Each structure stands twice: as structure tokens, then as C-alpha cells.
């Protein structure tokens, strides 16, 4: 879809029939693969397929990005999590950054179908990392774009754009924010003084995805919740983003070691295979 960002169309008829916006699946590329939680960004019940969008950052996602048409994943577990409550709120501002756009696309589709006016703010590091933009334009009354390098739209953050719209006196009845933790944290800080209810979608570290391991715990309104069964949607004004950020970083070192080991194994294999 964009450099480093891949879309897989997966034949999974039962998931395609049953999943609702906001829900996700956990996939494993093979028996040894990590369990990777991914939003169901698209579903086509007639074809029996779902669309998954991910960034190749770790070992398993790199393997997934290298898959060829016709290959199989070891397993696709889902749909998991609570579907988003889709209601008619009025004017809904949707703020999505980076891969958060994959989560936002089905949300925008459903909120627009429910009769809401959609104002969208999309952000990425640069223009070529944006995706679903044309589809989202069809569903939104306004689309604002922000890029870190200024290659398209506002040169800066999606939250700069939101701040400017709010300062200008624009009124929103509801906000949905998805993307990196600092982006969601900054969005809720802007919507809170305006009393705009704000939904965020969290993707903490997940293991089983069924509420048994406790890996995905997040603190919301002072209570411990499990993102996989209680979420992934939560009231953004209640989420402890500090704790969430700390937990997300917890395995960064192990992940890097694993990636370097895989790279070393690959080079070793190349050497022993000869020219």
C-alpha cells in the first residue's frame, strides 16, 4: 500500500461474515511466529475475504510482508474484541495517524452510513505513507492532511490541524482518534476542554487475545481493563497513556535481538548455499 506497509487479502469466510468495525484478528505466520493483532480493515462477506494492513517492523511482520499470493498463514483467530458502538452523533472528527488509518477506514465507513457528517484528519511521516485516502474522501465532508516532512498538506502533526480547527470555532459532537500513543494522548488533551467525547483504539501487547494472559492490560478510569476483551475501543479521556507507552516499549530490546538474529541466520544460509 505504501513503502513498508502491506495489505494482505486473506480468505477467512467466517471472520468476513462475523466481524464488525473495531474488531481485530490475531495472526501467526507460522508455528513459531509471534501472535500479531491486526485490525480487520476490510471485509467482503460475499467473497469470504478480509483485508489486513500492517507495517513490517518485526520478524513476523517481515515474513508476512514477503508472502506470495496463494501462501497460507498458520492461523487467523477472530473476530476478537468488542465492536465499536456505531451511533448517530452528528459531526464526527476522525483523527488518524500512520497505521491508525487502517483502523479508521471501517470506522469512517460505518459512522458515515449511520448518518454522521465526517471530518477527517489524516497524518503520516510523508505523503507516500498515506493510504485509503481516496476512499476516505468519498465518505468525508472535509479531509485534512498533515505530514511530518511537509510533502502534503500541513507541515507538522494532525493535532496541529485539530487545534487550529477547534480554535477557529469548529464544533464536533464526537471524536475518534487512532494511531501512535503520543498522537492519541495529544488528541484527547485537545478534545477534553471542549467536552468532545473521544474514542481511542488501543493496541497494547497482546498474547492470547481472549482475556486469559493479562498481557494487554490497560488502566482506564483507574480500573484495569483488558484491551482484547474489553476493548480495543476506550474512552480516551480515561486512558492512562503513560502506563500504556511504558508497556509498549517493554520488549523493544528483545524484538531487535530477534530481528538481528534472523538477519544473521539469513546471511549464514546465503553463505552456505554458495554463489
**What is the per-residue burial (b if ≥16 Cβ within 10 Å, else e) of 141-152?**
eebbbbbeeeeb
Distance CA 257, CA 275 (A): 28
CA of 21: how far to CAs of 18, 73, 78, 85, 230, in Å?
Answer: 10, 22, 13, 9, 15
Q: Starting at the edge strand that comes first in sequence, how are the strands of the sheet with 233-235 ordered? A: 154-155, 142-147, 117-124, 91-97, 174-178, 198-201, 233-235
Q: Which residues pair with 96 in a beta bridge?
A: 122, 178
User: Quick check: 214 binds ligand FES (CB under 6 A)?
Assistant: yes
| 77 binds ligand FES per the rule CB under 6 A | no
User: Smallest gap, in angstroms, from Cβ of residue 29 to ligand FES?
Assistant: 18
Binding mask 215-254 for ligand FES (x = CB under 6 A): xx---------x-x--------------------------
> Considering beta carbons, is residue 72 or 210 the nearer one to ligand FES?
210
Of 191 and 201, nearer to ligand FES (C-beta) is 201
Candidate list 22, 209, 232, 236; residue touching ligand FES; CB under 6 A: 209
Of the candidate spans 12-20, 143-151, 207-215, 255-263, the one that interacts with ligand FES by CB under 6 A turns out to be 207-215
Stretch that binds ligand FES, among 39-47, 53-61, 192-200, 205-213 (CB under 6 A): 205-213
Q: Does 79 bind ligand FES (CB under 6 A)?
A: no
Whole-angstrom distance, CA of residue 84 vs CA of residue 81: 9
- Does residue 74 interact with ligand FES by CB under 6 A? no
> Contact region for ligand FES (CB under 6 A) — 128-136, 162-170, 183-191, 214-222?
214-222
Q: Note whether 211 binds ligand FES by CB under 6 A.
A: yes
The answer to whether 212 contacts ligand FES (rule: CB under 6 A) is yes
In angstroms, the CA 233 to CA 198 distance is 10
User: Alpha-carbon distance 241 to 253, whole Å?
Assistant: 21
Residues in the chain: 275
Which residues are registered as beta bridge partners of 224? 219
Binding window for ligand FES (CB under 6 A); candidates: 117-125, 154-162, 191-199, 209-217 = 209-217
Report yes or no: 18 and 35 within 8 Å, Cβ to Cβ: no
Binding site for ligand FES (CB under 6 A): 206-209, 211-216, 226, 228
Amino acid at each position: 500500500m505504501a513503502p513498508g506497509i502491506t495489505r494482505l487479502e486473506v480468505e477467512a469466510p467466517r471472520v468476513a461474515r462475523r466481524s464488525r468495525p473495531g474488531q481485530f484478528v490475531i495472526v501467526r505466520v507460522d508455528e513459531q511466529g509471534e501472535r500479531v493483532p491486526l485490525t480487520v480493515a476490510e471485509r467482503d462477506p460475499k467473497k469470504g475475504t478480509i483485508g489486513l494492513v500492517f507495517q513490517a517492523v518485526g520478524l513476523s511482520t517481515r515474513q508476512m510482508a514477503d508472502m506470495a499470493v496463494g501462501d497460507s498463514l498458520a492461523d487467523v483467530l477472530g473476530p476478537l474484541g468488542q465492536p465499536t458502538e456505531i451511533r448517530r452523533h452528528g459531526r464526527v472528527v476522525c483523527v488518524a495517524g500512520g497505521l491508525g488509518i487502517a483502523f479508521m477506514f471501517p470506522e469512517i465507513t460505518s459512522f458515515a452510513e449511520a448518518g454522521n457528517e465526517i471530518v477527517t484528519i489524516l497524518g503520516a511521516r510523508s505523503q507516500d505513507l498515506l493510504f485509503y485516502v481516496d476512499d476516505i474522501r468519498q465518505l468525508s465532508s472535509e479531509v485534512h492532511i498533515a505530514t511530518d516532512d511537509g510533502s502534503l498538506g500541513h507541515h507538522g502533526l494532525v493535532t496541529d490541524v485539530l487545534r487550529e480547527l477547534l480554535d477557529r470555532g469548529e464544533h464536533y459532537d464526537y471524536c475518534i482518534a487512532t494511531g501512535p500513543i503520543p498522537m492519541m494522548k495529544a488528541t484527547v488533551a485537545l478534545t477534553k476542554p471542549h467536552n468532545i467525547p473521544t474514542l481511542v483504539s488501543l493496541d497494547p501487547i497482546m498474547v492470547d487475545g481472549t482475556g486469559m494472559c493479562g498481557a494487554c492490560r490497560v488502566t482506564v478510569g483507574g480500573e484495569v481493563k483488558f484491551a482484547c476483551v474489553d476493548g480495543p475501543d476506550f474512552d480516551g479521556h480515561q486512558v492512562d497513556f503513560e502506563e500504556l507507552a511504558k508497556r509498549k516499549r517493554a520488549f523493544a530490546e528483545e524484538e531487535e535481538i530477534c530481528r538481528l538474529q534472523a538477519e544473521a541466520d539469513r546471511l549464514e544460509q546465503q553463505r552456505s548455499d554458495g554463489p
